[in-house]
Amino acid sequence: METNPGERVDAQIFRLLRAVRDWGTVSRAAQELKLSYRHAWGLIERAGVALGEPLVIMERGRGARLSALGARLLSAHERAENRLRAQLTAIADELEQALHPAGRAGRATGRLAVRASHDLALARLRDLLFQRTGHILELEFCGSLQSVEALGRGQCQMAGFHWMDPIDGAAAAAIARHLKPRSHLALHFAWRQQGLMVRAGNPKRIRGLADLTRPEVKFINRQRASGTRLLLDRLLSQAGIAPTAIAGYEEEEFTHLAVAASVAGGLADAGFGIQAAAHQLGLHFVPLVRERYLLAMTRQTFRSPALQALVALLRSPEFAAKAGDLVGYDFSRAGEPVPLPGTSGGTRDRAGKMLR
């Protein structure tokens, strides 16, 4: 990465910024990346000089946090990673097989094309599945309804989507149009807490949706057709709040972390998203609703070795440990069969038998 007037910034700064955000201290971040404290702090300082602003702010007795610029820079990098990860994983696997075909002998190489609403735990599941089995989740994040539509049209093998119980009639009808009990089934993935992400310390004392209508409060939204945007709209409707009364309602980001980074970076006072994203960026969180996240697939896909390996991993202590630090998640029922929303069709139990 180059800056004006041609100064170079070490690309390792992104890993370092992520570690500072996650751990809250430069020393722990350096330890996680196996760097000396002096080298890590040198990278941060040089990048800040090159970019014209500090990227990390040291706070006496409280460790370190990302500055507004640091949060924006990391958010932009993570958005690019999310968009490119599936393509890069596929390309890397093709290159590995071409260069070292013998090295992959006997190792599972199943692929699952997945469209899913953005979720932090699902990304960890993808990484763990590849590390342990070699199976690849070609994961593409998009809106919940877009994911369901893609599965119904045969454009992917698995879809991740979420809703608040009880599911409203419009959402249930939309799902039922694309997913049929004879062809598809669903597994429970997680319960998640959704709510308002606000700046650390909650300086504007935001306690609920009604506070978003105050003229001094700036909001940042998720994109249209995302499950989180649809959930917010449902909550606003129930509360009798018009979206036009919220400053910033039309401004959009494409992931929970991007929304959280906008709040952490001072671009907005509040956003709506999952508690885990707020926690990762040190934000205050106002819980509003507990929702269910499901994984739907074709019945043919369910019988594949890759999907059976994924289900086994979902139910394992290893996955619980891998995702256990994500605040606001409950994985106690991960991998259990559930009815498709909006249908009365059966699904399968843990032994693979039909349930009615």
The H or E element that residue 319 is part of is helix 317-323
Cα–Cα distance list, 213 to 198, 200, 241, 271 (Å): 14, 20, 8, 13
Q: What is the CA radius of gyration of the chain?
A: 21
Task: Find, among 258, 291, 250, the residue nearest to 160 by Cα.
Answer: 291
**pLDDT for res 345:** 46
Q: How far is the C-alpha of 47 from the C-alpha of 177, rounded, in Å?
A: 51
Q: How far is the C-alpha of 335 from the C-alpha of 76, rounded, in Å?
A: 33
**pLDDT for res 355:** 32
The predicted model scores a pTM of 0.69
**pLDDT for res 94:** 56
CA 92 remoteness from chain centre: 23
Residues of the chain below pLDDT 50: 86, 100-108, 345-356
Task: Find, among 322, 356, 342, the residue nearest to 161 by Cα.
Answer: 342
